[in-house]
Amino acid sequence: MELILGLLVQGGQMLVVLLLAPGLVGLVRKVRARLTRRRGAPVLQPYRDLLRLMKKEVVLAENASWMFRVAPYTIFAATWVAAALVPTFALGLQFSWTADLIAIVALLGSARFFLALAGMDVGTAFGGIGASREVMIGAFAEPAMLLTVFTLALVAGSTQLSVVAAFMASPAVGLRVSLGMALVALVIVAIAENARIPVDNPATHLELTMVHEAMVLEYSGRHLAMIEIAAALKLLLYVALIACVFFPWGMAAAGSGVLAHLLGLAAFLLKLAAGGVLLATFETAIAKMRVFRVPDFLGAALMLGLLGTLLLFVSRSL
């Protein structure tokens, strides 16, 4: 019985993230539009875009290799697996032990790795620009992320997300400076990883500013669709991660009933909406920064992550 429930929750989780991800993107776009006094496309527009892309024919550059064609599915799969392992509405994921937080970060790293390679496959200048900037961002974002993971693991005594979430929901946590720092660091990393303003602008194709878009410039049709879904999944993953770790309220405990799971789902939807709105607000309020300022931005996250870890020891030894 427990196994079946676990499998159900796991399957539900996979479906939920997949279904909600484009919606989150649509929501952010919508809110941004409203904040800038535009009407904006409907929230469901990303779904339509994806379906349209799926049905279109692929125009492949002449010298694109198999790598170029395989990469979108690999990127999608890796991101999806990662997203499936971050507890969203329930803790009792059947396969939660497959990968802990470090492995999830690394899975996203794999996706980035293949995306950057795909960007270089056709051999255009733009692909190179995008890939080169992307790996630089990754080089700073990943350690910052891992330091945040350290902070969490030191607080919760585990890198297993379900354990961390359960611990964070317990009253043992209390308010801690370190966690605050970790949260800020994680937010910065999330912004950078998802190619949001001020690190990247998902809505522009200007040479000087592009990162993510430059890499996928040669993609079209279903391949582009897979990459877009992956990007949306990644955004959702980060929101879910922040929610799961820092705001673990309302999540269904392992082995709880159907009602709890429904409640958890509702809570998750609320969190997701809140995250989307906040992100859009933040993006509207801030300007894109120069590419070479990005290391400073991410360096701040790195420092915050480290500081959070160190403060933990200080407060502990006090």
Q: Cβ 23 to another protein, closest distance in Å?
A: 19
61 near another protein, rule: CB under 8 A: yes
Helix (H) or strand (E) holding 115: helix 101-121
Task: Decide: is 191 part of the binding site for another protein (CB under 8 A).
Answer: no
Q: Within positions 5 to 44, which residues make up the interface with another protein, using CB under 8 A?
A: none
Judged by CB under 8 A, the chain residues 297 through 316 that form the site for another protein are 302, 305-306, 309-310, 313, 316
Which residues are CB-contacts of 155 (< 8 A; sequence separation ≥ 6)? 167, 173, 176, 178, 179, 312
CA 5 – CA 10 distance, rounded (Å): 8
Cβ partners under 8 Å of residue 216, min gap 6? 115, 118, 119, 130, 224, 227
Check binding of 157 to another protein (CB under 8 A).
yes
Return the ∠ at Cα 239 (arms to 233 and 241), rounded to 5°.
95
Which residue in the set 224, 227, 265, 291 belongs to the binding site for another protein (CB under 8 A)?
Answer: 291
Is residue 231 a contact residue for another protein (CB under 8 A)?
A: no
What is the rounded CA–CA span in Å between residue 162 and residue 156?
Answer: 11
Q: How far is the CB of 134 from another protein (least distance, A)?
A: 8
Give how far Cα 146 sits from Cα of 36, 133, 150, 193, Å: 35, 20, 6, 13
Start-to-end CA distance of the chain, whole Å, equals 46
- The residue among 65 and 170 lying less far from another protein, judged by its C-beta, is 65
Q: Which of 15, 139, 258, 274 binds another protein (CB under 8 A)?
A: 139
Determine if 252 is a binding residue for another protein (CB under 8 A): no
Interacting residues with another protein between 111 and 130 (CB under 8 A): 112-113, 116-117, 119-129
Among 20, 27, 107, 227, binds another protein (CB under 8 A): 107
